[in-house]
């Protein structure tokens, strides 16, 4: 947990973000900040706007109103390519290139986006694959890997870009339960290592152990936020308590 955080450590500042689809307001003015080394976990029922919020941060979804700042610089359409190179994104469905090996999947963006020399990109790719426990599968193709392994490759790919912040959108939702643990373990280690992260997840064990702050969203609003101890044992809002109780019942 972080105490007495200085403004110089502010990495991500989300201010009043709104988004509507077909007249339905999905995000109703979301604001939060994220400091260096923090892990924030977004929870809430399906349709509450969590994934839309993540996608709005790096303009995969263009917000209708509000602003997003990355280390004091506004994220805009005009600078989005540069900003996306600094905002790592781990998707639900891995998004790996099926025709490329694991090694090539991890190094391709380093070379094409960041202009990293091939040998250096290769070394970095192996470092990050080692970090997620997959350096021995560098020559494999995605179809030869389990879902958990594919997701760990996508995490390695994001890390190899040296992002300022890493966004996770339900990274275990496409996995069989027995494969979820290996991905959660990697994410917990990243949190322990001080990676700056925003994570949308229903994995409450991860939220309890790794989050500096949990944000509960519903119907496009932030209903309640606080540290894990506060929310799990003494949530003030009735909807927060009800949601956490349902999650606990379904284990």
pLDDT in tens, 212-244: 999 999 999 999 999 999 999 999 999 999 999
* Residue carrying the six token digits 């007249």: 23
Q: Which two tokens stand for residue 65?
A: 């109103």
Q: Which of 1-15, 119-133, 145-159, 193-207 has the lowest mean pLDDT?
A: 1-15
Q: Under CATH, what is the fold of the domain 1-86+165-173+189-251?
A: Rossmann fold (3.40.50)
Find out whether 94 and 147 touch, Cβ atoms under 8 Å: yes
User: Residue range 101-128: average pLDDT?
Assistant: 97
Position 4 scores a pLDDT of 44
Residues of the chain with CATH 3.40.50.300: 1-86+165-173+189-251
pLDDT, averaged across the chain: 94
User: What pLDDT shows up at residue 8?
Assistant: 81
> Tokens representing 244?
């956490």
| Contact between 192 and 209 (Cβ < 8 Å) | no
Residue 43 main-chain phi, psi, to 5 deg: -125, 165
| 170: pLDDT strictly greater than 50 | yes
Res 5 pLDDT > 60: no
- Tokens representing 35 are 């400091």
| pTM for the predicted model, two decimal places | 0.94
Q: Is 173 left (phi over 0), alpha (psi -120 to 50) or beta?
A: alpha
Looking at the chain, the whole-number percentage of residues with pLDDT higher than 90 is 91
């Amino acid at each position: 947990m972080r105490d007495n955080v200085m403004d110089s450590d502010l990495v991500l500042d989300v201010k009043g973000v709104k988004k509507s689809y077909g007249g339905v307001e999905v995000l109703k003015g979301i604001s939060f900040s994220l400091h260096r080394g923090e892990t924030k976990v977004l929870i809430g029922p399906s349709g509450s706007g969590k994934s839309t919020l993540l996608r709005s941060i790096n303009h995969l979804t263009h917000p209708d109103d509000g602003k997003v700042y990355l280390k004091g610089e506004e994220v805009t359409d005009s600078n989005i390519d540069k900003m996306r190179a600094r905002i790592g994104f781990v998707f639900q469905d891995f998004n790996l290139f099926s025709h490329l090996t694991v090694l090539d999947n991890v190094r391709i963006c380093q070379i094409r986006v960041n202009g990293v020399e091939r040998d250096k990109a290769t070394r970095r790719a192996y470092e990050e694959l080692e970090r997620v426990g997959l350096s021995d599968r560098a020559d494999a193709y995605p179809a030869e890997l389990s879902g958990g392994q594919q997701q760990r490759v996508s995490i390695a790919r994001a890390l190899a870009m040296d992002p300022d912040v890493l966004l996770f959108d339900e990274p275990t939702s496409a996995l069989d339960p027995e494969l979820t643990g290996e991905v959660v373990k990697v994410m917990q280690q990243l949190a322990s290592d001080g990676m700056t992260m925003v994570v949308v997840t229903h994995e409450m064990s991860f939220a309890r152990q790794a989050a500096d702050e949990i944000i509960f969203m519903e119907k496009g609003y932030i209903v309640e936020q606080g540290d894990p101890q506060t929310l799990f044992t003494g949530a003030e809002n009735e909807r927060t308590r009800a949601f956490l109780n349902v999650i606990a019942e379904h284990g």
